[in-house]
Amino acid sequence: MSKILIIEDEIEIADLEKDYLELSGFDVSIANDGRKGLAMALTEDYDLIILDLMLPGMDGFEVCKTIREKKNIPIIMVSAKKDDIDKIRGLGLGADDYMTKPFSPSELVARVKAHMARYDRLVGSQAKVNDIIEIRGIRIDKTARRVYVDDAEKAFTTKEFDLLTFLAENPNHVFTKEELFREIWDMESVGDIATVTVHIKKIREKIEYDTAKPQYIETIWGVGYRFKI
Ligand code: CA
């Protein structure tokens, strides 16, 4: 669930915004002054911040500027004064949007959704690039949970995928079967370390040209396995 922080000293307004955003499925927290809001914004992971300009403690200008130095999340600034909105736009504090109070709650919800979608696209596209592991003809797409060998997709079960990904993300590191079992299967799992051997065999059948002479997952006799690069 996406988390939103409302920094607003007028309790009724903050509560109204919270109600509408919660109805739209967001998890909403409120801070009633600038300093508290800033502390929450910097220590918790929010997906968007709604920031009032005139606040006790520390005003919205300072809060926005300080959050921006540390975080890239969308900030919607609100103010009762149209002149102030024009002024903050001119200052280039890094807010993503500005709204003049009073605004309708449905307009706020629409803007929140639009900014979150935009931010998701931005961050999502970066994550996708980072989430592909490519090693000598094998491509592991972690986001889509797919594996390709020389561009041909191979079907992997969940545990086979997790095991291959774990080994490929830690190349050249030798893991014992016990370590791999602990890493991939949770403690309540039925099975034992022989399960690891079975899964390694299945993975090799999918990725190796010759399972008798594995090029990717190497057996270190008496110890365990490693992914060679
Ligand atoms: Ca205020």
How far, in Å, is the centroid of ligand 1 from the Cα of 51? 9
Cα 65 from Cα 225, distance rounded (Å)? 50
Ligand 1 centre distance from Cα of residue 40 (Å): 18
Element (H, E) at 207: helix 193-207
- For the structural domain made of 132-227, what CATH number should be given? 1.10.10.10
CA of 216 from ligand 1 middle (Å) equals 61
Q: How far is the CA of 117 from the centre of ligand 1 (A)?
A: 27
Q: Is the pLDDT of residue 70 over 70?
A: yes
- Sign of torsion over alpha carbons 61, 48, 45, 34: positive
- The pLDDT value recorded for residue 159 is 92
How far is 227 from 165, CA to CA, in rounded Å? Answer: 10
Residue 9 amino acid letter: D
Q: Is the pLDDT of residue 132 over 90?
A: no
- Cα of 23 from ligand 1 centre, angstroms: 24
Distance, C-alpha 31 to centroid of its chain: 24
Q: Which residue has the higher pLDDT, 142 or 89?
A: 142
Report how far ligand 1's centroid is from the alpha carbon of 25 (Å).
25
Tell me the residues surrounding ligand 1 (ion) with CB < 5 Å.
Answer: 9, 52, 54
Does 136 have pLDDT greater than 80? yes
The structural domains of the chain, with segments of one domain joined by +, span 3-128, 132-227
The CATH code that applies to domain 3-128 is 3.40.50.2300
Look at residue 34 and give its three-state secondary structure: helix
Instruction: Please answer whether residues 172 and 226 qualify as being in contact, where contact means their C-beta atoms are separated by less than 8 angstroms.
Output: yes
Query: pTM of whole model > 0.75?
Result: no
DSSP secondary structure letters along 86-128: HHHHHHT---SEEEESS--HHHHHHHHHHHHHHHHHHHHHHHH
Q: How confident is the model at residue 203 (pLDDT cuts 50, 70, 90)?
A: very high
pLDDT at 215: 92
Distance from the CA of 32 to the center of ligand 1, in angstroms?
Answer: 9
